[in-house]
Structure 1
Amino acid sequence: MTSLASETSAELKPEARPPAATDGPLYGSQRPRLLTLPGVSLSSAGQEAVDLAERAGLTLDSWQRFVLDKGMSERADGNWAAPEVCVNVPRQNGKGAVIEARVLWGLFIGGEKQILLSAHEFKTTHNTMKRIERLIEGCPDLRKRVKQFHKTVGREGIELHDGRELKYIARSRGSGRGFTADCVIFDECMILGDDAMSALAPTADAVDNSQLWYLGSAGIGHLSQQMARLRKRCLTSLESGVPDPVLAYMEWSINQHRAECVQGCTEHDDIDSVESLLRANPGVGYRLQVEKSMQRRLTMGDHLYARERLGVGEYPSDEADTWQVIGEDAWRSLAAADAHPEARHPDGSPIPGVVSFAIDMPPERSHAAIAVAGPWRGGTHVEVPEHRPGSSWVVERAKELHERWKPRCWVVDAGGPAGSLIPDLEDALGIKVVSPKTREIAQSCGQFYDAVIDQSLSHHDPAPLATALAGAQKRPLGEAWAWSRRGEGVDISPLVAVTFAKWGLLAEVEDDVDPLDNIF
């Protein structure tokens, strides 16, 4: 496997790198940030595809030639080194040209009897069809080998005189069934469901030397299940150093800063920098402009800009990857319908100073959670009384809970997204909010984990908390660990909140806020 480090743009031969000029146009990185290959190949058909595309009037960028070279590498026996190829690159960078070059090679040089091309929306496939037809029409040597351009609805494609075919397939549960393909190309693979995969992927199983090509942009959540599987295989390969035996994966993206990044972090990327735009977009300088591309951040906002232009995707995980830290069975076994904090007088009124509350929210601030913890039968009971969209409701609801329960403390991580609520909370509640230090965050996670293992924790099995646990994983924090999300779109704020609430039962609590403190 070629390592990621050896494939960065710094390692390119001079002729493969766009011209550098301080006063001229800027060019995007011609090599992917994430790259894994199945192994060392002896040859590649990629140059044949590049040369044929050139004859047809299609001049390819360096990054497009790189994709074809690596994706069409061959083993010693002449078979594909990578039977599966995935290209993950933001929109408008020119991935369509890669598809066109690969199709032309398969039809006119590679001897592939049948190529299937599909996209999420058939209009995308139709546009690709028109571009391929124009390339063929503009090259007499290719045009004379075409028997017919089929344009009848449901039978769209290209048929050569020798029987080779390119078929354009609408994506559905039954599309492609009954075909046998040498190559299947999935365009817009960030929207590729299991129904389409089960219908189209097996069409290549009966061909000795077949290929599946996946091309798309950053994942958009649950619709990106197949791309998530491919990406995970790449990351697993890079982390373990063991090459995936059949996959070539190439991704242009940035590694965006995370909520836990400290100021001055150099491991991750800023979404507002030109360097990030260039790293994620190989088409800058060819078909994308720096200023216009960066202005899209104003149009779309940070989240959409990061996804659509910088390749920061949302990738779901298969069910087998859930409950990584605490097993589902262990968690469910702690559910007790009659459990509640032992924090009430015989008349049912709350006992002041017995329970603690905590607040947390995810980095995108889409939701917020309020949790409570209190003693119960020698252990601790935790609940999530509130988990709602947004955060505008939090302070008022906290005030209501505070007046009723008079807890010993409220816990909020000052360095986390909910930290911005602390001044308003202290004003509304008249207390000093407890903010755990880094070592205390790690301690709180360890204490929560130990309580689950020791079965000294109870809960009512609220759905938000179970969902958070299913989607949580560990991140290193010094020599210990803290909670981390498995991926974008996973909200673990209920879990973080109950962890802090439990920790707050024994935390040191400062005196109430002096009203004069808020004047200065």
Structure 2
Amino acid sequence: MASLLLSPPSTPSLLRGAAAPRVEWRPPTIVGSYGGLAADLMAAAGKPYEPWQRDGVDLMMSTRPDGKWACYEYAEWVARQNGKGGLGEGRALAGFFGRGEELIIWSAHEYKTALEAFRKIRRLIRALGAPLTETLVDVDGVMVKISNTNGEEGFERLDTEQRIKFVARSKGSGRGFSGDCNIIDEAFAYTPEQQDALMPTLIARPNAQIIYLSSPPLTGDTGEVMFELKARAEAGGDDSLGYRDWGIAGHLDDRAAMNLDDRGLWAQANPALGYGRVTEETIGKLRRSMTSNQALGFAREVLGLWPKRVAGGGAIDMARWVDLADSMSKRRGDVALGVDISPARDYASIALYGVRDDELGHVQLVDYRADTGWIVARLVELKAALDPLAVGMGRGTYASLKTDLDKVGLTVPEDPAKPKRGELAVTTAVDMAAACGHVLDAVKQGTFRHLGQTQLDEAVAGARTKQTADAIAWARKDGATDIAPLVALTVARWAYTTRVDLIVTDDGPNLW
């Protein structure tokens, strides 16, 4: 029978993860399941399922009376490090060894995540059989070929030519592929455009299935596919959707009113708690260390709290922004710093801009803290450590910090045409308008990369542009958003591009 289950948080005396997700939808057509096949394979490979994983794979691989999957789509939303990838691993092995699926596609937003999934399944396959060579494993008489080629990682059964392939959506390598089983890892970065490209290709697959695995979306402007699945499930589901969400109830905007120290909430959001992988001690350490921005990161990443969905209207296309994330990005050589303070002066940001070896720009949020008293001392530290070309900021920020900046020798150039390394670069209204426009263009053109940092993502999602006379400037879409990280990025990039060829050294300006 179809059911939508809403379970209240548990408060066990011996802290262990919740036995059931807060929200669960089971289609009404279930008569059986191949979940046992996946569980047996994982156990044989030395990675037995925890109870919550076994329940999940049973629902994921449930069947209708005609033998087809009851869950054409299956979504599992759970906090990081709980083991949601294990559900995908068992599902892939079951399709490969027991269900005759011709092609299983495992896609992730970033290549490194897809590669990590490949390595985990490679270990499982080797554990199930006897490795004959580095690239050939005998699994009970089934010869499995391993492809380790960069960008072509995967497995192939030599008897049936069944394959498991691993692709990175951010590089476009997932487009054009359609599998009998399609595992969408990092679904928070899975876009409607990617969904639209995939779905029509499944028409020719008689028993296709799509598996979505993720923690909650980064911002209310992203994760459209996840938000749609959430809405379908919470509205009562449908006869082809399986859905489980372990995150606590509410929205990120309301976290200040929540007791984030409630162990019952920890248990609800972390079903692996108490089974070895996740411990109460570890969550406690995260709670104490993830306190910035009213514990935003802890609430989302550890407690699975969703952002409130935001209709479009932002200045920056969040799908494009997410595609520019590269957690491994590193700059080389010179940098510039940028500083901004929120209008209420309750938070401040310092960002950095440089250039990578591949000539793409590199941006990152260097520091983000409450209040403003720390800014100047931190700039002194960063100047000593990084020797920046310049330190950029807007006129208002400069005016409010000028006295303290003067005391530590952070000043504007005596001759604007001959700035020295490390001097201030203060924008005019026209400069800021140009800087905003350059960032908008750079996002559209994909000419820089960022690290995917929470506060910067939130700022980008919450920013719009406003017209001031004949210029534009960043503005907040709503009163709750702090866009200082984006403004700091903007002035850091502007400071770099305007100063890199002008800096006066002992040998004269940098005329490359």
TM bracket, shorter-chain basis: 0.5 to 0.7
SS of 2:52 mapped into structure 1: helix
The letter of the residue matching 1:250 is R
SS of 2:183 mapped into structure 1: strand
2:207 matched to which residue of 1?
Answer: 209
Q: Distance in 2 between matches of 1:195 and 1:214?
A: 16
Answering whether residue 491 of structure 2 is matched by residue 491 of structure 1, we say no
- 1:293 corresponds to which of 275, 283, 289: 283
The letter of the residue matching 1:197 is Q
Q: Number of matched residues?
A: 321
The letter of the residue matching 2:203 is D
How far is 1:246 from its partner?
1.8
Decide whether aligned partners of structure 1 residues 203 and 152 sit closer, same or farther in structure 2, where only a CA change above 3 A counts: farther
Q: Distance in 2 between matches of 1:193 and 1:100?
A: 23
- 2:301 corresponds to which of 308, 311, 336: 308
1:150 matched to which residue of 2?
Answer: 147
Q: Which runs of 5+ in 1 are unaligned?
A: 11-19, 238-242, 321-360, 368-389, 393-462, 467-488, 495-520
Q: Distance in 2 between matches of 1:258 and 1:212?
A: 28
SS of 1:134 mapped into structure 2: helix
Q: Is the 8 A contact 1:277 1:294 kept in 2?
A: no
RMSD: 3.7
1:171 matched to which residue of 2?
Answer: 169
Q: Distance in 2 between matches of 1:198 and 1:270?
A: 40
Q: Is the 8 A contact 2:17 2:269 kept in 1?
A: yes
Please state which structure has a larger fraction of its residues in strand.
2
Q: Is the 8 A contact 2:155 2:164 kept in 1?
A: yes
Answering whether residue 126 of structure 2 is matched by residue 137 of structure 1, we say yes
How far is 1:300 from its partner?
1.5
Alignment of 1:5-404 (within 5 A): 5=5, 22=13, 25-140=14-129, 142=139, 144-161=141-158, 162-172=160-170, 174-221=172-219, 222-237=221-236, 243-256=237-250, 270-286=259-275, 287-301=277-291, 302-314=295-307, 316=309
Decide whether aligned partners of structure 1 residues 9 and 253 sit closer, same or farther in structure 2, where only a CA change above 3 A counts: closer
Q: Normalising to structure 2: TM-score of the pair?
A: 0.56
Q: Is the 8 A contact 1:33 1:279 kept in 2?
A: yes
Q: Identity of aligned pairs, percent?
A: 34
SS of 1:213 mapped into structure 2: strand
How far is 1:201 from its partner?
3.9
How far is 1:123 from its partner?
1.1
How far is 1:208 from its partner?
1.3
Q: Distance in 1 between matches of 2:205 and 2:110?
A: 27
The letter of the residue matching 1:115 is I
Decide whether aligned partners of structure 1 residues 143 and 313 sit closer, same or farther in structure 2, where only a CA change above 3 A counts: farther
SS of 1:138 mapped into structure 2: helix
Q: Distance in 2 between matches of 1:254 and 1:300?
A: 17
Q: Distance in 2 between matches of 1:76 and 1:252?
A: 29
Decide whether aligned partners of structure 1 residues 41 and 292 sit closer, same or farther in structure 2, where only a CA change above 3 A counts: same
Q: Is the 8 A contact 1:256 1:269 kept in 2?
A: no
Q: Which runs of 5+ in 2 are unaligned?
A: 130-137, 314-341, 349-369, 373-462, 467-475, 482-512
How far is 1:3 from its partner?
3.1
How far is 1:492 from its partner?
6.3
Decide whether aligned partners of structure 1 residues 158 and 217 sit closer, same or farther in structure 2, where only a CA change above 3 A counts: same
